[in-house]
Copies of this chain bind each other. A is one copy, B any other.
Amino acid sequence: MVVDKVAQRRELKIASIVEAAWGLARERGIQLVSLHALAKEVGMRQPSLYAYFDSKNALYDAMFAHGNRELVARLSSLDLPDDPRAALKAFMQAFAAFAVEDPARNSLLFRRVIPGFEPSAESYAVAVDALSRAGAVMNAAGITDPGDVDCLVAMVAGLIEAQLSNEPGGTRWTQHLDRMVDLLADDAHERTSR
């Protein structure tokens, strides 16, 4: 493993480029990240970036994976309450807060705004990891029917979308989240106990 010294330096370089790319994305929007601006940011010329990424979509893929690793880390570090319903609420609040706090990241991870971009299998696996955690918390709270899961996911996604497109300081979306969890969990409980 002596050869890895050069490989490791390369990995660090790639990480710093992805970091700079996220900085640009936060400044000007994820769609407006240009390789020229990114190269300037990291002290290179635009074509030199192709030594690290085969295409612009490959850069987006690295950013996608990076963002999803952040999400997994955030969800893993949660200290959820014992009550399953309360845990689900806290989990969804954390998820929504993660999405709302960085619109550029939200666009790349959860909306499909880059025309040709499809995450690679490896990057997609990281995203699936995050989503499976959400599934576990929902199941624990009694939301097991696939239709119910879909509904709750749609509800949360819709609220996040609304929060991001509305003027700041709008409706109390954190309360809405809790209400939606209650509505669906109550309904699911009622249906299964009958």
Other-chain contact of A151, B146, B151, B157, B179 (Cβ < 8 Å): B179
For chain A residues 48-98, which have a beta carbon within 8 Å of chain B? none
**A100 CB within 8 Å of chain B:** no
For the residues of A in contact with B, the DSSP-based class is: helix
Chain B residue contacts of A162, Cβ below 8 A: 150, 153-154, 157
CA distance A165 to B154 in the complex (A): 11
For chain A residues 2-34, which have a beta carbon within 8 Å of chain B? 29, 31-32
Give, as a whole number of angstroms, the nearest-CB distance from A60 to chain B: 14
Give, as a whole number of angstroms, the nearest-CB distance from A10 to chain B: 32
Q: Are B165 and A150 in contact (CB under 8 A)?
A: no
**A134 CB within 8 Å of chain B:** no
Which residues does A use to contact B, with CB under 8 Å?
29, 31-32, 111-113, 115, 146-147, 150-151, 153-159, 161-162, 165, 171-173, 175-176, 179-180, 183-184, 187
